[in-house]
Amino acid sequence: MSRKTQSLLYLTIIVFALPIIITAAGSFMSDGRPILSRYEELFGNTEFLRHFALTFLYSAVSAVGSVIVSIPAAFLFAKGKFRFRSALFFLYILAMMLPFQATMLPQYIILRDIGFLNTPAAFIIYTVFSPVSVFLLRQFIVAVPDELIHSAVLDTESVLRIMLHIIIPMIKPAIFTVLIFNFFESWNMYEQALTFSAQNKDILPLSAVMRTFPDTAAPAASAVYMLPAAGLFRIMKSGLSKGDRQ
């Protein structure tokens, strides 16, 4: 790597890291003096703790649920042989490119008709059935040799066993990527939360209620809000490395 490329890389890291450092440092400072009162006020606020726990639950269930739902769909699109497969996959790609504002009304109507509106299920369902997850996993499964799957068919005709013992071990990096993506898609949910739970503010995720906390606790709330990102990245980084070695 050339020196110019290294300098550009370091500059990019600084640009992205600076807001995080300023937020974290600012949460401990007031008028140039170190303080902990912001955190004492924040952790004494039961509403913050409740919304934090709810948001973590939504995000964890959404991430795991998305992997469970997306792997069979991706496997079908990658290795299945059926009519209109390409056309259906094109629709998946089209759905992936549409912004939330374009699909908000039909999603709202569906959630209302099945009784999920203004319930936690609305936040989870939105992320679980993610076209992006299916697209990403499908691209990895396509790279799995067909000969390997044909050999597995000689031992078992169970598609579930083939996915568990052949496909999943070979696409672990993609699975960890999908977990990370969907966790933060749910963790940072804002417009979707306000749309799908307009009449039930008590179940809103933390991102939608951050503005309701006192200004004195806001810096600490912002710093704590970033903690799951740091923790999940640390855990998934190890998982991605293991997946690469396998």
Query: pLDDT tens digits for 27-53?
Result: 888 877 888 889 999 999 999 999 999
H helix intervals, 80-130: 85-97, 100-113, 120-128
206 vs 49: CA distance, rounded Å: 9
161 vs 75: CA distance, rounded Å: 13
**pLDDT tens digits, 166-224:** 899 989 889 988 999 899 999 999 999 999 998 999 999 999 999 888 888 888 999 99
Helix (H, G, I), strand (E, B) or coil at 189: coil
Q: What is the pLDDT of residue 245?
A: 46
User: What is the token pair recorded at 23?
Assistant: 């937020």
Q: How confident is the model at residue 165 (pLDDT cuts 50, 70, 90)?
A: confident
Evaluate if residue 130 carries a pLDDT over 90: no
78 vs 148: CA distance, rounded Å: 14
In order of 126, 130, 194, the CA distances from 63 in angstroms are 11, 10, 20
Q: How confident is the model at residue 238 (pLDDT cuts 50, 70, 90)?
A: low
234-243 b/e (C-beta count within 10 Å ≥ 16 → b): eebeebbeeb
Evaluate if residue 145 carries a pLDDT over 70: yes
**pLDDT tens digits, 103-117:** 889 999 999 999 999
**By the 8 A CB rule, do 139 and 173 touch?**
no
**Mean local confidence (pLDDT), 92-101:** 84
Q: How confident is the model at residue 241 (pLDDT cuts 50, 70, 90)?
A: low
pTM: 0.85
**pLDDT tens digits, 41-88:** 999 999 999 999 999 999 999 999 999 999 999 999 998 888 888 888
211 vs 222: CA distance, rounded Å: 10
- Burial class for 50, CB neighbours closer than 10 Å (0-12, 13-18, 19+): middle
173 vs 243: CA distance, rounded Å: 5
